[in-house]
Amino acid sequence: MPELPEVQTVINYLSSKILKKEIEDIKISNNKFLKNINEDFLKNIVINSRIIKIDRKGKYILFHLDNDYTIVSHLRMEGKYRFEEKEQEFKKHDYIIFYFKNNSRLIYNDSRQFGTIHLTKTSELNNLKELKKLALDPLDEKFNIEHFFQKIKNKNITIKTLLLDQTIISGIGNIYANEILFDVKVNPWIKGKEIDFETSKKIIDSAKKILKIAIKNNGTTIHSYEFGSSKGSFQNFLKVQSREKLKCFQCNEIIKREKDHGRSSFWCPNCQKII
């Protein structure tokens, strides 16, 4: 489900619901999400604690507890959180339940079971292997275009695939990679080594712009992404993603779709020429 805008939307949603609530119990019906901990250890640390802050690094959600531990959650394709004020029917693929007082609860649901959960000391957060290797995301004020350019300039793989590499730039996934490249009129099949500094700057500027607008729209719901039970609205503004065989809004050319490293690239062959 999530790229940066969707993850940020989930964080905004949860922050309005669960901060400072005492966690009284956890029920886990599927252990496979727990990566560097077992169920007993997670329960030991989390029960009786409170989540005091929720933020993210790249697409990883960070639940900071009041006891110097942080839960690190990645939603991968289908992970979802929802908060319930009052008990309701469980849904298929509800796998982890955090119980607060008054029967309110936070539920983690993940139909494809790809999601991951790590637990680490907050002070050692940046030593976690998964976070350590992540690049900054383009909305981070410390994001450095020169650094980005250095990482792509010798690469013999496509700019589309490079934008998906979280060690080069974090937060971008398939939808926004396609949309950003359309926005800057760069063909997705151009190799990293063919991109000059000016173009890489344009790409980053566009990434900032598009990710911000997408956050304002609560993300993009194409298949199943939702926060709580609400959906995003950025799908109404997509220019190429999921528009195969439809006319380009800019020039009426037919939008193409082809796989690049197993992921669908969508582009307008007229607007996005090969250099």
The residues that touch DNA, with contacts defined as CB under 7 A, are 1-3, 6, 58-59, 74, 76-77, 92-93, 111-114, 116, 130, 133, 155-157, 161, 164, 166, 173-175, 219-225, 232, 259, 261-264
230 strand-pairing partners = 227
Which lies closer to DNA via its Cβ, residue 50 or residue 256?
256
Neighbours of 235 (CB within 10 A): 18
Residue in 112, 247, 263, 273 annotated catalytic: 263
2 is catalytic: yes
- Nearer to DNA by Cβ, of 102 and 150: the residue is 150
Catalytic residue among 59, 80, 202, 239: 59
Q: How many CB atoms lie within 10 A of CB 123?
A: 10
Work out how close the CB of 266 gets to DNA at its nearest, in angstroms, rounded to a whole number: 8
- SS3 category, 54: strand
> Which pairing describes strands 256-260 and 263-267: parallel, antiparallel, or unpaired?
antiparallel
Active-site annotation holds for 155: no
Instruction: Provide φ and ψ at 103, rounded to 5°.
Output: 70, 5
Q: What span, in angstroms and rounded, lies between the C-alpha atoms of 80 and 52?
A: 20
Q: Is 36 helix (H, G, I), strand (E, B) or coil?
A: coil
Phi, psi of 80 (to 5 degrees): -140, 145
Amino acid at 65: L
Q: Looking at beta carbons only, is 63 or 227 nearer to DNA? A: 227
Shortest Cβ distance from residue 250 to DNA (Å)? 21
Kindly state the smallest distance separating residue 255's Cβ from DNA, in Å: 13
Q: Please tell me which residue in 3, 78, 194, 226 is annotated as part of the active site.
A: 3
* Nearer CB in complex with DNA: 121/263: 263
Active site residue 263: yes
List residues with catalytic annotation: 2-3, 59, 263
